[in-house]
């Protein structure tokens, strides 16, 4: 999926430009341009889809220039503000500390304050191996990884978007380890020690609750893999919204459209639906803001063709803080005055609009 993210522009540019600049000779640019064209070809269907569905190939960016359905300048500003709030700060000292922080202090969850992921600090241990064998290809790959890292640090500091640089770093670390295995016996001992540290580090990397990630992952997934738990049971305990979507299948007429509030993980929802892409730049809350009162909001949602509303109360408790209290109060008044409860599951409620 990283290949179709806008942030993939950094590894693509580095793939094309840096090898051409770094080479002693002037190599033919054809292989690099072909690689770039393949990357663009993979990405192009998403541009076409955006143009067809919302009228902006680079949606949700550049709204003032290119426009886009269900989106405006206010939401784009909210989105950019949220993206730049991720990570552990953006002043000069925080940027200088970023390699250390992302390697040693990253945590999943925490609403992106700690990059929403986990890395082992062994990345910092292996980093000096880049310079053990300072060949031109190694230095070129290092520059590519550095360019991706710099682009990532200036944009959305989600750890998953750093994966291209991590992949390059793994190649560079492996090259350094391979170089160390030749010659004196102490080098082989060092390599074995590093390999043991890497494996031990992977086993001890914590999840968002502080427990070993690998052990927790195995414990959580082995029952369904071994047939000790059904797929429905596994999905029900793993995905908050799965139980509600299962109830929708049993309760609502087939094909009845559903309006989702504070919920967008709708892979298992078979009905057509409207949902936010970003809770921090919410199209639903923008509709609330543009409505004069709860009655006007009910009319707007009804005019869009929606009779059934799903509200994730758990996520709503958190994301409500991003919006003015008056708008949240208007949304709650709309729910109280115009909705009847149909079903509840795992802090998610299905409502029906009153006639």
Give the tens place of pLDDT for each residue, 295-326.
Answer: 999 999 999 999 999 999 999 988 898 899 99
Most confident of 156-160, 213-217, 331-335: 331-335
Task: Pick the more confident residue, 52 or 106.
Answer: 52
Is 351 strand, coil or helix?
strand
Mean pLDDT score, 161-179: 78
pTM: 0.73
Other Cβ atoms closer than 10 A to 184: 9
Contacts of 86 (CB under 8 A, 6+ apart): 112, 113, 115, 116, 156, 157, 158
Q: Are 176 and 130 in contact (CB under 8 A)?
A: yes
Q: Are 2 and 39 in contact (CB under 8 A)?
A: no
Query: What is the Cα–Cα distance from 31 to 35, expressed in whole angstroms?
Result: 6
Q: Are 116 and 110 in contact (CB under 8 A)?
A: yes
HSE-CB at 238 with a 13 A cutoff on CA atoms is 15
Of the candidate ranges 84-98, 167-181, 245-259, 265-279, the one whose mean pLDDT is the lowest: 167-181
Query: What is the Cα–Cα distance from 138 to 140, expressed in whole angstroms?
Result: 5
Tokens of 22: 């770094």
Query: What is the Cα–Cα distance from 208 to 210, expressed in whole angstroms?
Result: 6
Q: Are 277 and 264 in contact (CB under 8 A)?
A: yes
What string of DSSP letters covers 228-265? SS-HHHHHHHH-TTHHHHHHHHHHSPTT--EEEES---
Other Cβ atoms closer than 10 A to 343: 17
pLDDT digits (tens, 9 = 90+) for 51-97: 998 899 988 888 888 888 888 888 888 888 888 888 888 888 899 99
Query: What is the Cα–Cα distance from 289 to 328, expressed in whole angstroms?
Result: 9
Is residue 1 very low, low, confident or very high in pLDDT (cuts 50, 70, 90)? very low
Q: Are 341 and 353 in contact (CB under 8 A)?
A: no
Q: Cβ-count burial of 125 within 10 angstroms (0-12 exposed, 13-18 middle, 19+ buried)?
A: middle
Q: Which residue do the tokens 């008044």 mark? A: 333
Over pLDDT 90: what percentage of the chain?
28
Mean pLDDT score, 29-41: 76
Tell me the CA end-to-end span of the chain in Å, nearest whole number. Answer: 42
Mean pLDDT score, 24-42: 74
CA distances to 60, 267, 275 from 57, in Å: 9, 23, 20
Tokens of 217: 């992952």
Is residue 259 very low, low, confident or very high in pLDDT (cuts 50, 70, 90)? very high
Q: Which domains does the chain have, with CATH numbers?
A: 1-82 (no CATH), 84-228 (no CATH), 236-353 (3.40.50)
Residue 308: strand pairing partners = 258, 352
């Amino acid at each position: 999926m990283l290949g179709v993210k806008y942030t993939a522009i950094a590894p693509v540019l580095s793939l094309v430009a840096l090898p051409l600049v770094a080479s002693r000779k002037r190599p033919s640019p054809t292989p690099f341009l072909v690689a770039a064209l393949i990357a663009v070809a993979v990405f192009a269907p998403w541009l076409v889809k955006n143009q067809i569905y919302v009228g902006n190939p680079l949606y949700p960016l550049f709204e003032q220039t290119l426009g886009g359905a269900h989106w405006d300048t206010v939401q784009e500003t909210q989105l950019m503000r949220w993206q730049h709030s991720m990570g552990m700060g953006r002043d000069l000292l925080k940027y200088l500390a970023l390699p250390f922080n992302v390697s040693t202090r990253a945590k999943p969850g925490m609403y992106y304050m700690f990059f929403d992921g986990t890395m082992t600090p062994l990345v910092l241990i292996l980093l000096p191996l880049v310079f053990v064998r300072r060949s031109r290809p190694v230095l070129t790959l290092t520059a590519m990884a550095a360019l991706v890292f710099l682009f990532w640090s200036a944009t959305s500091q989600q750890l998953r978007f750093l994966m291209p640089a991590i992949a390059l770093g793994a190649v560079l670390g492996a090259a350094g380890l391979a170089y160390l295995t030749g010659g004196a016996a102490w080098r082989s001992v060092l390599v074995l020690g590093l390999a043991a540290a890497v494996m031990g580090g992977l086993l001890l990397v914590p999840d968002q609750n502080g427990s070993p990630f690998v052990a927790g992952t195995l414990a959580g997934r082995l029952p369904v893999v071994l047939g000790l738990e059904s797929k429905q049971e596994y999905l029900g305990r793993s995905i908050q919204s799965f139980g509600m979507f299962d109830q929708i299948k049993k309760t609502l007429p087939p094909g009845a459209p559903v309006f989702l509030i504070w919920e967008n993980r709708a892979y298992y929802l078979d009905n057509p639906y409207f949902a936010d892409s970003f809770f921090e730049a919410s199209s639903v809350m923008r509709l609330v803001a543009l409505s004069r009162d709860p009655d006007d909001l009910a009319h707007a949602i009804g005019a869009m063709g929606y009779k059934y509303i799903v509200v994730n109360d758990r996520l709503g408790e958190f994301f409500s803080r991003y919006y003015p209290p008056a708008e949240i109060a208007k949304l709650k008044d709309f729910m109280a005055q115009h909705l009847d409860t149909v079903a509840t599951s795992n802090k998610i409620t299905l409502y029906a609009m009153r006639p």
